[in-house]
Structures are given as C-alpha cells and as structure tokens.
Structure 1
Amino acid sequence: MFVLIPAFEPGPRLPDMVAALRRADPDLEIVVVDDGSGPVFAPVFDASGDAGARVVTHSANRGKGAALKTGLAHILTRDPDADVVTADADGQHTPSDVVRIAHALRTDAAAARSALVLGVRAFDGTVPLRSRLGNTVARGLFRLATGRRLSDTQTGLRGIPSDRIPWALRIPGEGFEYEQRMLLRLAPDLVATHEVPIDTVYLDRNASSHFRPVRDSLRVLLPVLLFAASSLAAFAVDTVALLVLQALTGWLVPSIIAARVLSATANFVVNRRVVFRVRGGPMRGQAVRYGVLALALLASNIAWMSFLTDNGLALLPAKVVTEGVLFVLSYGVQRSLVFPRADAGSPAPPPRSGGVDTLSLLRPGSPGPSPVTPTRSSS
C-alpha cells in the first residue's frame, strides 16, 4: 500500500506528516512528488526523505494532476498490485484519516470489490467561507453535470485500487481539474465509489492551499456551461418555431416535429464544434448517433408535452418543464456516446486481479506522465 502526496511549495509540516504516517501504519510506503517547487523548498523535501518518503521531482511546475500521474506511474512500475492513497501536502488530511482510507481499500480488496474510495468531509465547525462556498458550488455543478450526488467533490484524500491505476493515468488533465475529471469519468466508465467520513481540517484558514474552488470547478465544468448555452439557444429556436407553427396550423405534433428538426440541426453543429470540440472522426457516425438521440428525445418530448397539455397545463409551461427534464439526460448521452473523446478513459476492467501491463503505460507515445528527474532520498 502506497500513500502518494503531490506537493508544490509545501509548508514545513510535510516532513512531520510523513513521519506521522510511518508511525501510524509502518506498512505504508510514502511517495512525495515535488512538482517543481524549486531550490528554496529543497530542505523540506530532503527532510521528508529523511522521514521515510521517496521523493520524485519535476524540474518545473506542471500541476497537481501531472504530479499525481507521475507518482501513480512510479508506483505502478515498482508494484503493479499495490493500492494507492492520495493525500494533500497542506496538512488537511490527518494520519488517522489516511489510514482509514487505506483500511477501506484493504477491506474492498478482501471482498474482491473495486471502488474509488473518497474521504468525504462534513464541513461542520469552523470552515473558511471560501472553502464552504466553493465546495457547495462545486457539488451543485457536479450534480448538474452528471446527475450524480457526491458528498465532497473537492477531496484530495482518495483511495485508488490497483486495477484502477491504469484508468487514472489515462484521464486527461494536468492541474486541479484532473481530480474533477476523474469524478466525471465515474459514471461513463462504470466505476463504483465508496465514501468514508473524515475530519474537516483547515490549518491557518487553508492559507497554504493553491486550489481555487469556484474557478477551478468552473474550468473543468466549462463544457456543461457551454452545453447549457447551446441548449438554451436551441430551446429558443425550438420554442419560437413551435409557437409560430402551432398558431398557423393548429397541429401540435407536426409543429413539434418541424421545430425540433430545425433546432436539432443547429444544435448538432454547435455541440460538435464548440461544446465537445470534436475536430476529427467520422461525422456521419456522430450525426447518426445524434439523430437516434434526437428521435428518442423527440418521442419523450411529444409524450410528456401531450400528457401535460392534456391535463390542463399551458403549452409554454409544459415546454419548459419537459425540456428541463431532458436537458441532463441529453448532456450525458452526447458526452459519452455521441461525441466521445478518444482519451476520456477506458471501460471498466474485470474484478480485481493480478498485474497489469506497465510497459504499455510508460513506453513512448502512450498516455501517462512525461519523464521526470531521478528519485532522490529514499528510506
């Protein structure tokens, strides 16, 4: 079992954290990734090595996601069957909580379960307003994007089972958005989660954290916001066309169909080029998948609007209610099936088993982190 700690310009507590983890569970091996902190912070990393950590160094700052992937690749080459606990270097994760996540991974392994273990905070007590507000916004945006509720989408204390490390290495992202993208890949890649309550700790009002909760959450969820804007524009076109056609003809169903064909064509072009940024691939296949989705949504639209208007709801409110319900479903299907990214992850692997092909992850041209400087300081 490994504990992976990415660190950029860490405070003086990092060596104490390493020593405390070694005392709390001597079976834990500690890997610290110095994400280009520079020579000023070399004494902190040297002391961490003396305390029992293996330190891997980036020559320049590349971001938390890059540091995590460097550490995961390093661990994978050393022990392909080892589970990994990721923890932050700012002191927010107590040794007892790290051990609690490690215990959850061992329990899952004994039961042949594979799940991403999340250390979730209750955000009770004295919590900085920036962190409380940021996490509330992030949870809401995550639920909007995925339809899935998680108690803490910003936690850096996570347990990654050994069979999920190749999956984690293939997730794109170099900065803080990497951890958010990992959560966004849970549903499409059929990855289970296991939440474990942990303490809510903020030292010096979280002054040492480089994370910007709202800004970094909005950055990774930008496609959702663009999709919402695209859908709103299509909704406007669809609604105006529907009202005009229905007023001219008095026919509800034909008006719905004609308005949807018009808006769907424009929406396909915008989503392909702007929202999901597809620059290649077979457009015909994407158009066919989009068309099948559009037909399914159209059938649902007709069924719900007919039901609502037949039961006394006016046309415009019925339209708003129906489109709101179908919005989340449409985004998830388009992201995963209509415009899938080639680097967006891999299907769920079979239950936990033996080793993995580490060479396929580290050979030139394959996904994963770029080379780093040799490790220094090992216990």
Structure 2
Amino acid sequence: MVILIPAYEPDRHLPALVRSIRNAAPHAGIVVVDDGSGPAYREVFEDVKSLGCHVVSYARNHGKGFALRTGFGFIADNLPGQDIVCADSDGQHAVADILRVWQRLRENRDVEWGLSTMVLGGRAFTGAVPARSRLGNTATRLLFALATGERIPDTQTGLRGYPAAMLPWLRSVRGDRYEYELNLLLEAKNNGYAIESVDIATVYLDNNSGSHFRPLADSLRIYAPLLKFLASSFTAFLVDTVVFVLLTVAVDSLLLAVVGARAVSSAVNFLVNRTLVFQHGRDKRARSAALRYFGLVAVLLAANVGLIRALEAVAVPALPAKIIAEATLLAVSFAVQQRFLFAAEAGDGTRARRRTHISA
C-alpha cells in the first residue's frame, strides 16, 4: 500500500499524522506532495522526509487536483503495482480509518470487480461540524445525485482508496483544484469503475481552520457544470423572449411566433450546451445529438403543459404553477443531458459492476 498525502502550507498535524501511520503500518509507503508551499514550510517537509516519506515538491501552488495527479505519476514511476489511499494533511483522517479503507481495497481484490472499485471514506456529519462543511457536502451530494442518479453519502471526502489498476485513468481526469475529486466521481461510471463507501469518523480540528478551501472560488469550480447549464438556460430564455417579440411584430400569428421563438432559442441552447457546458458534448456527432436534444425539447414542452395543468387542477395559481413546472423540468433537463445526451462514451474493455455501497 502507498498512502498519498497532498499538502499545501501544512501545520503540525502533518508530521503527527505521518508518525501515527509509521507506528500503525511501518511497511506502508508514504508519498507527500508539497503543492508549492514555499520556503517557510521547508522544515515541515524535511521533518516528514526524515520519517521515511517520499516528498515531491514544486515551486508554485497549483491546487489539490494537480498535487494528486503529480503524486499518482510519482507512484506509477517509482512504486508501481501498489494500491493507493489518499488522505488529507490536516489530521482530520484518523489512522484507523486510513487503514480501514486500505483493508477494504485488499478485501475487494478477492472479488471480480475489486480491481475497478474505488473506496470512499464517508463521514456521517454528526456532532460539531462547521456549517460551511455541512452545507457544502449537502449541496454537492444533491448535485451529484442529479447528474448521475447515484447517491453517495460524502462526495467531498479526501480519504479515498484506489486500486493500482486505476492509475492511468486517475492521471487523465481533468481539474487542478478541489473540482478534481468530484470529476473522478462524475467520470467513474462511464469509465467502468464502481464506487463503494465505508463509514469513517467525522473529525474537524479547530473548526476546520487548517482547510485551504476557498468558499467562493472553489465552490464555483465544483459547481461549474450546473452553473454553466443555468447560464445557458437563461441565455436561451432571453433569446426566446427577444425572437418572440420580433416575430409578433413581423407576422400575424401567435402560434408561429411561439414556435419560431422556441426553435431559435432551442438551437442556441443546444449549441451552447454541446460546445461549452458539457465536457463531452463535442465528442458526440452533431446530427445525432441534435435529434436527441430536440426530442427532449418536445417531451419537456409537453410535460411543461401537463404539469402546469395538473398544478392548476389542485388550485395552484397559474404563475406559481409555471415557476414550479419550469424549475422541476430544468432539473430534469440537466440530468438527462448530463447522463445521456452529452455523457462520456463508456470506457473500453470489460465494465466493472457498478454499485454504491455503505459498510457499517
């Protein structure tokens, strides 16, 4: 086993964590990546190096995703064939939980899908949990379920185990900062990988003061797919409104104005979604993707009318009924486009059995 620890401006918890790992698992390899912490933190990294760690350093901070991929590259070149457990440097992952994730990786080797299953250390978020951490995980968990249809209890956990066979794929996934770990989960299914969760302790030291998570900038990166989709949908709404107004002036037909406006706005929305919103949109053939997209538009339009009528039938006023219908179908549209229309092509080779499991 190799334990990979990305670290940026680490405090006293990093050497303490390494010492605890050394005491509990003296034969485990430990790779620490210095993500551009600078000269002020050289002593900390020298300390862990003296404890037998491999320390990989570079001058400028790039982010957690970049640090993890750098560590994966080092392991592939220098410690090949080893399963990997990633842990954070701030002391919030108990050594017992790190070893528990490793043990689960070892157990999975005895079953056919084990070499293609990542293991997540899932926190229960009970007790004294900082509000931003609780809210952030809830929002990301809901986004992940919307995008994939899968429920994972802790999508933001930094304690993760990966079989050695996953290394080439781990190095190929995009994202230099905190969005990288979410991208791994989003990309796993289409590359034939399963996800399993084991329960771990929820630990926050000093109210999570050691975290380098930037609430605004990093949240924007994590939620970028949904935010881009919402921006694309709003742009389509503006186009639809403008074209509708122009057509009502140019032609003497309300039906033609409505249909023409929707056709133009849908075409714009399709082009934006395919080229800018969904990462794998441009991998799809434009003609077949367009046919599926406009089929979805037709279905959603019919569903919109039906949902509004159903809400009005139970005494919901017209305007609230329209807002509820539009919001509901916007979520459906995002999920369908993310999972099916513009999803990555399935990876080559035998697909692993897909499962999400929570172990007691």
* Bucket of the pairwise TM-score, normalised by the shorter protein: 0.7 to 0.9
Structure 1 pair 21–310 and aligned structure 2 pair: CA distance change class (3 A): closer
User: What does residue 137 of structure 1 align with?
Assistant: 139
Q: How far 1:298 sits from its partner (Å)? A: 1.3
User: What does residue 96 of structure 2 align with?
Assistant: 96
Q: Matched residue of 2:109: which SS? A: helix
> Structure 2: which amino acid aligns with 1:175?
R
User: What does residue 369 of structure 1 align with?
Assistant: none
Q: How far 1:135 sits from its partner (Å)? A: 2.5
Q: How far 1:133 sits from its partner (Å)? A: 2.9
2:136 & 2:321 partners in 1: Cα distance?
34
How high is the TM-score relative to the length of structure 2? 0.80
Q: How far 1:16 sits from its partner (Å)? A: 2.1
8 Å CA contact 1:6–1:35 kept in 2: the answer is yes
8 Å CA contact 1:121–1:151 kept in 2: the answer is yes
Q: How far 1:305 sits from its partner (Å)? A: 3.9
1:14 & 1:195 partners in 2: Cα distance?
25
8 Å CA contact 2:312–2:321 kept in 1: the answer is no
User: What does residue 331 of structure 1 align with?
Assistant: 334
8 Å CA contact 1:138–1:217 kept in 2: the answer is no
Q: Please, which moves more after superposition, 228-237 or 160-169?
A: 228-237
Q: 1:151 aligns with which of 153, 165, 175?
A: 153
User: What does residue 356 of structure 2 align with?
Assistant: none
User: What does residue 302 of structure 1 align with?
Assistant: 302
Q: How far 1:150 sits from its partner (Å)? A: 2.1
User: What does residue 220 of structure 1 align with?
Assistant: 222
User: What does residue 186 of structure 1 align with?
Assistant: 188
2:143 & 2:95 partners in 1: Cα distance?
30
8 Å CA contact 1:167–1:346 kept in 2: the answer is no
2:185 & 2:213 partners in 1: Cα distance?
17
Q: Deviations over 1:44-82 (max 9, x none)?
A: 112212223111112322211111001111112234432
2:215 & 2:112 partners in 1: Cα distance?
35
2:8 & 2:301 partners in 1: Cα distance?
50
> Structure 2: which amino acid aligns with 1:327?
L
Gaps of 5+ in 2: 353-360
Q: Please, which moves more after superposition, 126-135 or 167-176?
A: 126-135
User: What does residue 263 of structure 1 align with?
Assistant: 265
Q: How far 1:303 sits from its partner (Å)? A: 6.2
Q: Deviations over 1:351-370 (max 9, x none)?
A: 78xxxxxxxxxxxxxxxxxx
User: What does residue 208 of structure 2 align with?
Assistant: 206
How high is the TM-score relative to the length of structure 1? 0.76
Q: Percent same amino acid at aligned positions? A: 43
Structure 1 pair 328–255 and aligned structure 2 pair: CA distance change class (3 A): same
8 Å CA contact 1:121–1:197 kept in 2: the answer is yes
Q: How far 1:166 sits from its partner (Å)? A: 1.3
User: What does residue 122 of structure 2 align with?
Assistant: 120
1:307 & 1:57 partners in 2: Cα distance?
57
Q: Deviations over 1:217-245 (max 9, x none)?
A: 3323223112123224535766996xx99
1:141 & 1:213 partners in 2: Cα distance?
17
> Structure 2: which amino acid aligns with 1:330?
S
1:11 & 1:307 partners in 2: Cα distance?
55
Structure 1 pair 213–189 and aligned structure 2 pair: CA distance change class (3 A): farther
> Structure 2: which amino acid aligns with 1:7?
A
Q: Deviations over 1:244-275 (max 9, x none)?
A: 99xx9898xx9986664233112123334553
Q: How far 1:328 sits from its partner (Å)? A: 3.8
User: What does residue 82 of structure 1 align with?
Assistant: 82
1:22 & 1:310 partners in 2: Cα distance?
63
Question: What does 1:344-359 correspond to in 2, within 5 Å?
Answer: 347=347, 349-350=349-350
Q: 2:231 aligns with which of 229, 238, 261?
A: 229
Q: Deviations over 1:165-215 (max 9, x none)?
A: 211111111112211221222344343211111111111221111013554
User: What does residue 355 of structure 2 align with?
Assistant: none
Q: Matched residue of 1:298: which SS? A: helix
User: What does residue 356 of structure 1 align with?
Assistant: none
Structure 1 pair 333–78 and aligned structure 2 pair: CA distance change class (3 A): farther
8 Å CA contact 2:146–2:335 kept in 1: the answer is no
8 Å CA contact 1:4–1:86 kept in 2: the answer is yes
1:131 & 1:324 partners in 2: Cα distance?
26
> Structure 1: which amino acid aligns with 2:140?
A
> Structure 2: which amino acid aligns with 1:193?
I
8 Å CA contact 2:308–2:322 kept in 1: the answer is no
User: What does residue 54 of structure 2 align with?
Assistant: 54
User: What does residue 20 of structure 1 align with?
Assistant: 20
CA RMSD of aligned residues (A): 3.6
8 Å CA contact 1:63–1:174 kept in 2: the answer is yes
User: What does residue 358 of structure 2 align with?
Assistant: none
> Structure 1: which amino acid aligns with 2:184?
M
Q: Please, which moves more after superposition, 145-154 or 230-239?
A: 230-239
1:337 & 1:49 partners in 2: Cα distance?
47
Structure 1 pair 51–277 and aligned structure 2 pair: CA distance change class (3 A): closer
2:345 & 2:274 partners in 1: Cα distance?
19
Q: Matched residue of 1:44: which SS? A: helix
